Each structure stands twice: as structure tokens, then as C-alpha cells.
Chains A and B, each alone.
Chain A
Amino acid sequence: MSKTTFSLGGVHPSDVKIAREKAIEVLPLPQTVYISMAQHLGAPATPCVAVGDQVKAGQVIAEPSGFISAFVHSSVSGTVKSIGARKDLSGKDMTHIEIAVEGDEWVEGVDLSDTLVTDIPQDKAAVLEKIKACGVVGLGGATFPTHVKLNPAPGSKAECLIINAAECEPYLTCDYRIMLEKTKEILVGAAIMQMVLGGCKTVIGVEDNKPEAIAAFKSAIKELGYQGMEVLPLKKKYPQGGEKQLIDAVMKRQVKSGGLPISVGAVVQNVATALAVYEAVQKNKPLVTNTMTVTGDCLPESGLHNYLFRIGMPLSYIAEYAGGIPSDAAKIISGGPMMGKAISNMDACTVKGSSSLLYLSEKTTKRQSEGSCIRCGKCADACPMGLEPFLLNRLYKVSDMDALEQNAVQDCIECGCCLYSCPAFIPLLDYIRQAKGQVMGIMRARAAAAKAAAESKTENK
């Protein structure tokens, strides 16, 4: 069988998954953790503890403050020291709860053992409630609250649950490690989501540079005897892990501009999310831990790690524990090298969606000076959304918002393929991201105005 992949664009960066053989290690607890209130897409959570309170690991410390929002739990046991503004990864102020660690006591009912629980509860509403109460969010990057995604609007039906095991970003190996070490847990998590969605087909999409994971999934499915669940090896291409790209690769369907995956009958969940769902539903364990990779081209073999971390650990603490920041690291990135964010503040703390600490040398990461566009069209060839980045860039420079909207700048997934492929080193994505933000703002304002107009009309009647 020839392997499948998404149809449009994409690039082939070298995968350099150098930390793939490193088993997951558990990080020891630091003295203090700082837990951010903005660990998910949507409105930041509202703290519900006070300074001086004693908290246990797994206890709710902040409540959602909107429909698209999530619970935040304490990742450690100890005393709440302060609640206040602290700089996040990009140096912007965000409310954090500071907790001084004392021992490691968990709230009652959390099963911390390794025993696999395969009996799946059949009450959909109860399962969704549990996922919500445990603060599970999508761990593929966007941190969208999972209970919202698993509860599609009435009238739309999920035909296929896609488990995103592509891990298409170079360097990152934390998803790969959990696929090997927690294979069955992930599958049980997938089966729970399958049940919630009404027993649709489940496809696990794995890129073919992880043959061990493919084999592990295949044998585990056989062992667990799951029906309607299959592993689909995908031809390696970035950004395979993009939601719309993965739907295209697996189902051969395209989500139209502005549409949600559910409009073509698809629900995409990351492997790490499947594991979090398993832990939440079967073990009552809220999402307070996740795995991350410490890697990079300026680290020695012994400096590469895959860690199980608790949320709220300062990055500087993790870097210190892993052996310090290498002297020739020119850039430290949180996330993959393609979509990750350069860290300018090492005092920032891990959040639910943290996936890596990546040290890159000047040679691999330094941007070249910008040249002139010769309209070679490489960016348009590389764009997985079928956009024309060179055109969008020019339209942004002259602030033509109408034309930008017509050319679908709002569909940009910010994967960085255009920037990666540009032979003139034009920072296309930097400008397009700005343009996208402005156009989305205009679109939202228009939608809000239309809604207000419709409301006043009905009121007048």
C-alpha cells in the first residue's frame, strides 16, 4: 500500500529526532511552582483559592470564566504564596498562582498506579463532565478545551475520530515516547473519545519516520481487541500534524475556508490529549503533567532528555536540571523549530501545552538578511493552505485589507512553510501573521455588528 499524505504544499525539513531513544524521566519537584491562568485557548481562568490556602496536587485552583475556557488544577501540594501578575514566555503579564511546594500529597480519588483500566464507562454526559472537570485541553499546540471539541453542535455528526500522532515538527520526540511507553493508555483514551462521539471510526495517523510506534499501536490494538480502530502510516511531510492537513491526508476531504473539521465529519485529537483523557476518565487524574523534550543541535548526546513535568515548573529550573544552557545556544525555543516560540524569558513557567525546550545554534537558527522577492513562487508551492504568501505580504505592505480577505489570509495556519522555503529570506510569516490578525479583527467586528443589528431588529418587532 502506498503511503498517503496531504495533497497541497508542505516542506521536508530534516527530522533530526535525536532524542528519540531517551526514555521519559520524571522531573523532581522544584521549591516553587507558578501556575498560569492562561493555559488554554479562550478566556483565562479565574483563581478560586486565596493566599495562604493549603492545596493538594490535583485540587482545582482556578475556574473557567467562559464557554471556551478550562479548569486549572494545582500540580503540587503546598501553600499558596501569592496570586499576581508574572511574565509569561513572551514577557507579557499574566496572572499566576505561586505555590510553595510541601511534600507531594494528592487529592483523594486520584489513582496514581500504573495499572491499565480498560473498562470504559458508557455514560457520555458523565465522561464529558469528567474531562471538563479535569481541565483537559488539546495538547497538539492550540490547547483548545477538549470537552468543547468532543461535543459537536447539534446537527453535525462525527464520522471519523483522527488521533494525531504525526508529530511532524523536527526535533520533538515527547509524543513519540508516550506512543511507545503509554501505547495502551492512549488507545483506551481514544476508545473513550470514540464512545463519546457515538462510536465512529477511529484512525491513528502516524508519520512513517516512527515505524516502532506504528508497530506498537498495531499490536496493542490487536491485544485490546478494539473494533473500528486502525493505524494509518503517513508519508513524512511537514505540516502533517496540522488539523486540516491531517483530515486531508486521512479522509481525503478538505475543510472549506472558515469551516470547522466537524463540517466534514472529522474530530482530530492529539495523542497526548488521548493520554490526558485516559488519565482523567479512568484514573481521576486532572491534567497537571505532560511530557516535554529537551533537545537541540548544540546539546551533547547526554544532554538530550524526555521529561514528565508538572505544570508551573519554571523553565530555568528544568534547564538547570537538564544540565544547564549550552554556551553556543543562540536561540532557545519552546515548541518545535517550525512553529515554536523563541523564549526571551527563562523565568517563565511550563503550561499544559509545553512540549519542548529546544536549544539551537546560530548556524541553524540565525535569520539571513532579507532580499528582494523575485516572485519565484516557492512560497505558494509550499503553502499547505493553497495561499500565495508573496502576494499577501505585498498586500499587507500597502494595507489593503479587503484584498487580503479576498485572498484568504485568515486561512493561514502559521506553519511557516513560506518562510522556510523563501530563497530571499523574506520574513513572510511575520507580516502575514500581522495581516491575519488585522483581517480577523475586522471580520469579528463585522460579525458582532451584524449580530447587534439583527438583535435590535427583533427587539423592534
Chain B
Amino acid sequence: MMTTTIIWTIVILSGLGLLLALVLFFIAKKFKVEEDPRIDEVEAVMPGANCGGCGFAGCRAFADAAVKAPNLDNNYCPVGGNEVMKKVAGILGYEVKEKAPQVAVVRCNGTCENRPRTNVYDGASSCKVKAALYFGDTGCQWGCLGCGDCVAACQFGALSMDPVTGLPVVDESKCTACGSCVKACPKGVIELRNKGPRGMRVFVSCVNRDKGAVARKACIASCIGCGKCVKTCSNEAITVENNLAYIDFAKCKLCKKCVEACPTGSIHAVNFPIIKKKEENNE
């Protein structure tokens, strides 16, 4: 009695399993989703950060879009850069347009020293909230608010707040130019700029569009729109609009004349081998 029950159970369950397996097999055959195998291949060479810097939801979505697109003109992975894009192009047989590597640049000089605090903000620690409430705790309504929305937005740990200056600092070795911080900043202080040869670049570290006197009163290192830099520039790389100078990084030849010409010191030149020269002088 006991043995027959066990045998029947085994037979019925095995039969059921076999039957369902067959049903599943045929359904899988019949409704098979054809997927381009290249999507998997492309995804495999992607950085896998899912940061959304390319404009898609993640690396898989990017791979899908890249495979379906007729060329790679509108699809570029800023994190992987040219290397990854070359691999992607190799898989898909497309040509890739090389892009100069970029980096996030904080365009604000408003350190605690340069830009005195005029009031105390004790609301929620978020730049977005602060920007919606009022012009900020300094006289400058354009510059960095210092609550670190960009730091929170960075998925690569490339941004940190400097407790002394109250401004965010970009770690260039970690920054992938994905642009999350640019989107997170309600004041539009951060910009993606070409990294430049050996990281050397010249930029206006200010976004103040107030008239010179007003800007200067709020922050001693602000751009006052005087136009001296425009006159010194021999490459026509600098334009002044709304009392604010802007250097076109595509035209800039890194001569640094504008840095010397700027009366407020709002034009910054970074990663130039200046420090070595100074040391030589000191010696």
C-alpha cells in the first residue's frame, strides 16, 4: 500500500514536470524575442556605472540605442571616453568622432574670504531649497550656495566640499564628466570644459552677471565685465555678455595673457607648471 502511493506520486510528479517542460519549451520557441546580440557585446565594454551621463537611463539603454542608431554621432559615453567609444565602434562597425576629454569646472570664486556672508541660513541643507527661498547668504545671487547638491549628485566621489573656502572641489582623476553635477546645480555654476593638454586650462571662475560695482561689492574676486581680457586675447576666444566674460575653450590657446590682465583675479589658469617656477625664484 505504502509503496504504491510513493511510486504513483513519483510517476505523477515526473509526468507533470515533463509535460510542463514541454509546454514551456514550445512557448519559448514560438514567442522568442529576437534581440541583437551586439547589445550584449556593447554593454560588456561599457563602464557599467549607470550614471546617466550619456542621456540614457543606464549602460544597457545606451547600448540598445547605439545598436539601433545609424551612426554614433549622437551617442557618446562621457565616462568611458574615446577608448570605450572606439571599442563600441569596433563592435558595430561604425566610425567614431573623437571628443576631447572633459572635466567639471566650478566657476565660482566666492570663498568665505572673497565673498563675505551677509546673513545666516539655517534651513534645509540643499542648494535647490535654498535657491528657491532667496538669493543666498552672501551678496552674490549668482554664485555657489555651498550646500553640496553637486557632491550628493556625483556617483564617482569626485566632488567634495572644501570646509575652508565653502566651495566644491573637483578631483580631476575621478571626474568622468558625466554631467550629473551640472544638472544638480540650481545656479549653473558648474560647467563641463575640455580638460586641455596635460590638464592645463584657462577659465573665468565666476558667473556673476551683475554690473561691475554691484558684483565687486558682493565678492572681491568676481568678474566685473570690464573687458580687459577681451582686448588682450589674440585668439578671439573671450566674449563679454551681461557683464560676464566667458572663454571659449575651443579657441583658447592657453597663452594666459588674460590671467595677468584680469584686475580681480577671476580668471584662473590651472595645472600649468607655475609652482615649479616660483620655487626656482625662491631659491
Complexed CA–CA distance, A431 and B123 (Å)? 10
| Contact (A91, B135) CB under 8 Å given A366-B122, A427-B124, A430-B124 | yes
**Residues of B99-139 whose CB lies within 8 A of A:** 118-119, 122-126, 128-129, 132-137
Contacts of B133 in A (CB 8 A): 90, 341, 430
Complexed CA–CA distance, A345 and B122 (Å)? 16
Give a binary string over A334-362; 1 marks a CB under 8 Å from any B CB, 0 the rest. Answer: 00000001101100000000000000000
Point out the residue from A87, A344, A345, A430 that lies within 8 Å of B129, measured CB to CB.
A430
Give a binary string over B48-82; 1 marks a CB under 8 Å from any A CB, 0 the rest. Answer: 00000000000000000000000000000000000
User: B137: shortest Cβ distance to chain A, in Å?
Assistant: 8
Complexed CA–CA distance, A77 and B137 (Å)? 36
User: Chain B interface secondary structure, helix, strand, loop or mixed?
Assistant: loop
Contacts of A433 in B (CB 8 A): 129, 132
Give a binary string over A423-436; 1 marks a CB under 8 Å from any B CB, 0 the rest. Answer: 00001001101100
Contacts of A434 in B (CB 8 A): 126, 128-129, 132
Contact in complex: A91, B136 (CB < 8 Å): yes
**Residues of B167-196 whose CB lies within 8 A of A:** none
Complexed CA–CA distance, A341 and B132 (Å)? 12
Q: Does A92 contact B (CB under 8 A)?
A: yes
Contacts of A370 in B (CB 8 A): 124-125
Contact in complex: A431, B126 (CB < 8 Å): yes
Contact in complex: B123, A427 (CB < 8 Å): yes
Contact in complex: A431, B129 (CB < 8 Å): yes
Complexed CA–CA distance, A431 and B128 (Å)? 9
CB closest residue in chain B, given A89: B134
Contacts of A90 in B (CB 8 A): 133-135
User: B156: shortest Cβ distance to chain A, in Å?
Assistant: 19
Q: Does B141 contact A (CB under 8 A)?
A: yes
Q: Does A437 contact B (CB under 8 A)?
A: yes
Contact in complex: A431, B122 (CB < 8 Å): no
Contact in complex: B135, A87 (CB < 8 Å): yes
**Residues of A419-453 whose CB lies within 8 A of B:** 427, 430-431, 433-434, 437
Contact in complex: A430, B135 (CB < 8 Å): no
Contacts of A427 in B (CB 8 A): 123-124, 129
Number of interface residues of B (CB under 8 A): 16
User: A370: shortest Cβ distance to chain B, in Å?
Assistant: 8
Contacts of A344 in B (CB 8 A): 118-119, 134-135, 137
Complexed CA–CA distance, A344 and B130 (Å)? 12
Contacts of B118 in A (CB 8 A): 344
Contacts of B141 in A (CB 8 A): 91-93
User: B274: shortest Cβ distance to chain A, in Å?
Assistant: 37
Contacts of B129 in A (CB 8 A): 427, 430-431, 433-434
Contacts of B123 in A (CB 8 A): 367, 427, 430
Complexed CA–CA distance, A344 and B136 (Å)? 9
Complexed CA–CA distance, A90 and B136 (Å)? 9
Contact in complex: B134, A431 (CB < 8 Å): no
Complexed CA–CA distance, A91 and B141 (Å)? 8
User: A332: shortest Cβ distance to chain B, in Å?
Assistant: 10
Contacts of A92 in B (CB 8 A): 134-135, 141
Complexed CA–CA distance, A406 and B11 (Å)? 52
Complexed CA–CA distance, A93 and B211 (Å)? 13
Give a binary string over A68-96; 1 marks a CB under 8 Å from any B CB, 0 the rest. Answer: 00000000000000000001011111000
Contacts of A366 in B (CB 8 A): 122
Contacts of B126 in A (CB 8 A): 430-431, 434
Complexed CA–CA distance, A437 and B132 (Å)? 10
Complexed CA–CA distance, A342 and B122 (Å)? 11
Contact in complex: A367, B135 (CB < 8 Å): no
Complexed CA–CA distance, A341 and B124 (Å)? 15
Contacts of B136 in A (CB 8 A): 91
Complexed CA–CA distance, A89 and B135 (Å)? 10
Contacts of A93 in B (CB 8 A): 141
Contact in complex: B119, A367 (CB < 8 Å): no
Complexed CA–CA distance, A179 and B213 (Å)? 47
Contact in complex: B124, A91 (CB < 8 Å): no
Give a binary string over A297-336; 1 marks a CB under 8 Å from any B CB, 0 the rest. Answer: 0000000000000000000000000000000000000000
User: B118: shortest Cβ distance to chain A, in Å?
Assistant: 7
User: B31: shortest Cβ distance to chain A, in Å?
Assistant: 30
Complexed CA–CA distance, A456 and B272 (Å)? 58
Contact in complex: A431, B124 (CB < 8 Å): yes
Complexed CA–CA distance, A367 and B141 (Å)? 24
User: A37: shortest Cβ distance to chain B, in Å?
Assistant: 18
User: B204: shortest Cβ distance to chain A, in Å?
Assistant: 22
User: B127: shortest Cβ distance to chain A, in Å?
Assistant: 11
CB closest residue in chain B, given A437: B132
Contact in complex: B134, A91 (CB < 8 Å): yes
Complexed CA–CA distance, A173 and B52 (Å)? 53
User: B148: shortest Cβ distance to chain A, in Å?
Assistant: 15
Complexed CA–CA distance, A345 and B125 (Å)? 21
Complexed CA–CA distance, A93 and B134 (Å)? 11
Contacts of B135 in A (CB 8 A): 87, 90-92, 344-345
Complexed CA–CA distance, A341 and B133 (Å)? 9
User: B270: shortest Cβ distance to chain A, in Å?
Assistant: 31
Complexed CA–CA distance, A91 and B123 (Å)? 16
Complexed CA–CA distance, A437 and B186 (Å)? 14
User: B117: shortest Cβ distance to chain A, in Å?
Assistant: 11
CB closest residue in chain A, given B119: A344
User: A266: shortest Cβ distance to chain B, in Å?
Assistant: 31
User: B244: shortest Cβ distance to chain A, in Å?
Assistant: 15
A-B contact pairs, 27 of them (CB 8 A): A89-B134, A90-B133, A90-B134, A91-B135, A91-B136, A91-B141, A92-B134, A92-B141, A93-B141, A344-B134, A344-B135, A366-B122, A367-B122, A370-B124, A370-B125, A427-B123, A427-B124, A427-B129, A430-B123, A430-B126, A430-B129, A431-B124, A431-B129, A433-B129, A433-B132, A434-B126, A434-B129
Chain A residues engaging chain B, CB cutoff 8 angstroms:
87, 89-93, 341-342, 344-345, 366-367, 370, 427, 430-431, 433-434, 437
Extra A-B contacts (7), CB below 8 Å, given A91-B141, A366-B122, A437-B132: A92-B134, A342-B134, A344-B135, A344-B137, A370-B124, A430-B124, A430-B129
Sort A-B residue pairs by CB-CB distance and give the 7 closest, nearest first. A91-B135, A430-B124, A90-B134, A427-B124, A367-B122, A344-B119, A430-B129
